[in-house]
Structure formats: structure tokens, C-alpha cells
Amino acid sequence: MKKPKHNLISPLRRGSIYVAVLGVALLVTVIGLSALLSVRVEHRAAILTEDAVRADFAAQSYVDWMVFTLNRDSGWRAAYDNDSWSGDEIQDEATCNFKLVDELDGDLVNDASQPVRLYGKATVGGAVRIYSVILESLVDEESGNLFSNGDMESGTANWSDFYCDIASSSTAPHEGSACLAAYSRWDWFSGPVQSVIDWVEDGETYEIEAWLRTRSTTDFLRPVIYLRTTDLQYTTGTSIMVDDTRWVKLSTTMTPVWAGELTEAMLGFCSQGGNSDFYVDDVVVKVAGAEPVMAMEAMPGTWRREVLETQILDPFTAEPIPK
């Protein structure tokens, strides 16, 4: 008679094997989750690095943009509060803000000559960058100039020849790289002119400044306004003696007056007598008594990198983790 077979694996041992299998499965799961988390973290780190570069560039660009914006708004000091961040402005992929701080007395309005520190902030993803620079107030000598290409840096653009020839010249300009040459002049009235029909006003007084120099002789040069209603008439201004050794500044005022419908108006330069060749540069024509415009310029050596901050983001939700 055969004896019955006994199960060689006891219930206790079967349980141990089951626990071991579960442990291995759990370990594999943990390793897998760790690898996934590592990939997500590396991915988020790469994104944060890219965000930081974009935020850095955006913050500096935004400061430059705000300097341009402030110079187009003469009433900006009264429009903004001292040391107060502006609302969000989207620039490409960055959220930008700025603030102005009067570091001398905390008052932007009381003295237009005081410098201010401009802060620009940019946020891209989890990266925040802030830069600042001190702006100083300077009188913009060219502001209000009614003449186009008065500095002659654009060649003969906006200038016309009135019974003469004109050309851009690089021969010892007063400033910059070019001046305007007038030559082959017919008579004393010949010279370079610019149309002023779009802005000239009857009875308005204009301040005229120009730098003049002759080509080879001594002569008396002066401004002249040509007006055409029923016929062509002219008015000349104060003359000054000019030679070929140096630039001489002409500074005078003129008040054009006419009757009837104005169909043509030109302002330019001629001589008191004769037809000698001459140069003209840096012409400024303004309404007399106009207040000078204060321009804001960044002071060299005052740029500061204020904040380099990267928020810690949850690798799964990409949301900032509270500090």
C-alpha cells in the first residue's frame, strides 16, 4: 500500500516567495518612477535654462525700450509714481514691468533735472531677471528743429539748389561726417534752400542757427526766405563775415510776412554780394521762445543686474513650489 505524497513547499514558504516577488516588482516600479522623474527633472532644467536666457535678454531690451518710450512722452514724470512697478506688459514671450526711482529725494516731479533709476523686469516661465540703469536729463539741442537733415548726414536729402549746384561734402564738416557745399552760384541770391511751406506761419518769428564757411575767399553770408503768392518775394536776415579758415556760427531770427495765398516758401542761405562758393552745416530752425526738450540718456557705468532668480517648479505640474 503506497503512502500519500506530501507537498514539499510549505504554506509558510509559499508566502515568503510571494512577498519576495512583490518586493522585486515594487523595486522595479520605484526604479521606473525614479527614471521617469529624472527625465522630467532634466527636461524642466533644460526649459528653465532656456527661460533664464530669454528673461535676461528681455529685461535688458525692455530697459532700452522704456528709455525710448520716456523720451517720446514729455509728461512722463507726472504720469508715474516713484518706486512703483507698472502693470504687466507682454513682450514676445516675456511678461515685463518697469519702475522709476528718484534716488535723491523720492519725488519724480519736483525737479526735471534730477536723474532717475529705471528698473526693467522680465519673467519667462520660472526665470525672473531685473536690470536697472540711471537716466540723466540732458537738453536735446535738436528737439523742435523744423528743418529736415539739418546736420547734412543724409547727403543732399530735403535740400534743393536755387540757381546753383549743391553736393554733399566730407571736406572738414563742422560736425559728423558731411556738410553741404554750394557752388557754381549765379549771383548773390543763389544758394541751398529747403521747402518750408508745410510749417511756416505768417507773422511767426523763427530762430535760425547755422554754421558757415567759404571755400576759398572771404564773404558775407546770410539766411534768406523766398515766398510766392502772386509773385516771388524774398526777405534776408542778418549777415556775418565768413572765410575759408574756420566755421562761423550764424544766429539770428526772421519773421516772414505775406499777403494772399502762399503757394511756395523756401528758407536757405545766400551771400550779401558776389557768388563765392560756401559750405553750410548743422542748421537748426525753431519757433522763437520754444521751451527746450529734456532728453533722458543712460549714464555709462550705472547698469546693474539686480535679480537673477529661478523659481522652483514642480516637475509634474510645472507650477511654482512655494518657498
Helices (H) and strands (E) in the chain — how many of each?
A: 2, 17
Q: What pLDDT does residue 119 have?
A: 96
What residues contact 164, with CB distance under 8 A and at least 6 apart? Answer: 182, 183, 184, 185, 186, 190, 191, 192
- Tell me the β-bridge partners of 132: 119, 304
DSSP one-letter code for 301: T
For the four alpha carbons of 56, 59, 65 and 70, in that order, the dihedral sign comes to: negative
For the four alpha carbons of 141, 147, 151 and 153, in that order, the dihedral sign comes to: positive
Q: What pLDDT does residue 219 have?
A: 94
Q: What pLDDT does residue 29 have?
A: 63
Write out the chain's pLDDT in tens, 323 residues. Answer: 555 555 555 665 666 666 666 666 666 665 655 655 555 545 454 545 788 888 989 999 999 999 989 888 878 888 999 999 999 999 888 999 999 999 999 999 988 888 999 999 999 887 899 999 999 887 655 557 899 999 999 999 999 999 999 999 998 899 999 999 999 999 999 999 999 999 999 999 999 999 999 999 999 999 999 999 988 899 999 999 999 999 999 999 999 999 999 999 999 999 998 899 999 999 999 998 876 666 788 888 899 988 766 555 555 555 555 54
Enter the pTM of the model: 0.54
Q: How far apart are CA 255 and CA 253, in angstroms?
A: 7
Residues 204/251, Cβ–Cβ less than 8 Å = no
Q: How far apart are CA 312 and CA 146, in angstroms?
A: 55
Q: What pLDDT does residue 82 have?
A: 95
- As given in the structure block, the three cell numbers for residue 26 are 515594487
All structural domains of the chain: 13-141+292-313 (no CATH), 160-290 (2.60.120.260)
Q: Residue type at 71?
A: N
Closest CA to 117 of 52, 66, 61, 54: 66
Q: What pLDDT does residue 273 have?
A: 86
Q: How far apart are CA 26 and CA 20, in angstroms?
A: 10
Helix (H) or strand (E) holding 67: helix 11-71
Q: Give the three-class secondary structure for 78.
A: helix
Rg (CA), the chain: 37
